[in-house]
Amino acid sequence: MIVTAVILGLALPVLAQQPPATPPVLIVPGQSIAGVALGRTVSATLGRLGQPTEMRSLRDGALYTFPRYGLNMYAADGAVRAVSTTNSLLRTADGIALGSSVAEVRRVFGPQFSDVVVEGLMGIAYDQHGIAFGLDGSVVSVIIVYPPRTQAAPPAAAPALAAPPAQIDLALTSLPRVENLKPFSPETQYLSVAGFLRYVVYHQTGLWLTQNEASRMLQEQLRARL
C-alpha cells in the first residue's frame, strides 16, 4: 500500500513500513527543519519551497516568510543561517513540538539554557545544541534552529549595549534581566523599565519590541523572581 504525504507542498510517496531516512516533519537541532538545511544556498531552498510570501531586508541579511508552511528562513551571504517554525506537525526526534511544555523541553535538552527573545516571544535557548523555543506562558509556540555555539554568551548581570553580533540572529536575542532595575533612573537611562528593555533589544537587533511585548516580558521576569 502506498500512502502519499504532502509536507511543504511536496508530494512524497511513502511506502508502508518503509519510512524515509529523514522524515520531512523532523526538526534537527543545529541542522534543519523539515529538510530546510542550514548552510544550503537560498536559491536551492527557494527551488524547493517556492517564492516566499514576503522577503524583508534585515541588518545582517534577509528574512523569507512562508506562512503556508509555517516557516521563516533567515539568510545571509546567499545561504540559510537559521530556520524557525510555527507548524505543529513538525517535531524533534524526541517529540518536542509546538504545544510541548517547558518541563518537557528541559527533560529532553537539560537545565542548561539561556533566556532569550525568539521572534518577539520570551523563550529559552540551548546554544550548545543550536535550538531555541519561544514560549507562550509555559508552552512552546515557535521553534528556531541555528548553528550550535560552543560557548553560550554569558548572562547579563546588568544590561549593556553591546555591539551587534556579526552573525544573523535577529530572531534570537539574549534577553537582559531588567526586573530589578529602578525605573526612570540612570541605570535605565531615565526610561521606564519596559521602555529600557525595548531600547536594549533594539540596539541588539535593530527591531523594536511592541510596548505590550516588553511589558509582558517584564511581568514574566518578575513572576520568575518570586
Q: Which domains does the chain have, with CATH numbers?
A: 9-145 (3.40.33.10), 176-225 (no CATH)
Task: Kindly tell me if the per-residue pLDDT of 6 is higher than 50.
Answer: no
User: What is the longest distance spanned by two Cα atoms in the chain?
Assistant: 70
72 vs 181, residue with greater confidence: 72
- Predicted confidence at residue 59, as pLDDT, reads 74
Q: If pLDDT is split at 50, 70 and 90, which confidence band does 198 have?
A: confident
Instruction: Give the model confidence (pLDDT) of 14-31 as tens digits.
Output: 434 444 444 578 999 999
Q: Pick the range with the lowest mean pLDDT from 6-15, 37-46, 181-190.
A: 6-15
pTM: 0.66
Task: Kindly tell me if the per-residue pLDDT of 151 is higher than 90.
Answer: no
Task: Kindly tell me if the per-residue pLDDT of 216 is higher than 60.
Answer: yes
- For residue 173, the cross-strand partners are 117
Q: If pLDDT is split at 50, 70 and 90, which confidence band does 157 have?
A: very low
* Mean pLDDT for all residues in the chain: 78
How many other CB atoms are there within 10 angstroms of residue 12's CB atom? 14
- Predicted confidence at residue 84, as pLDDT, reads 95
Task: Kindly tell me if the per-residue pLDDT of 201 is higher than 60.
Answer: yes
- Predicted confidence at residue 78, as pLDDT, reads 95
Tell the burial category of 140 from Cβ atoms under 10 Å away from its Cβ (0-12, 13-18, 19+): buried
Task: Kindly tell me if the per-residue pLDDT of 183 is higher than 90.
Answer: no
Spatial strand order in the sheet of 36-37: 36-37, 32-33, 26-28, 91-92
Task: Kindly tell me if the per-residue pLDDT of 120 is higher than 70.
Answer: yes
- Segment 91-114 mean pLDDT: 95
- Provide the CB-side half-sphere exposure for 171 (13 A, CA): 26
Q: Pick the range with the lowest mean pLDDT from 31-45, 70-84, 140-154.
A: 140-154
The residue among 42, 44, 36 whose CA lies nearest residue 62 is 42
Task: Kindly tell me if the per-residue pLDDT of 50 is higher than 50.
Answer: yes
- Set of cell numbers at residue 181: 532595575
Task: Kindly tell me if the per-residue pLDDT of 40 is higher than 80.
Answer: yes
Task: Kindly tell me if the per-residue pLDDT of 141 is higher than 80.
Answer: yes
- Predicted confidence at residue 20, as pLDDT, reads 44
Q: Pick the range with the lowest mean pLDDT from 99-113, 135-149, 178-192.
A: 178-192
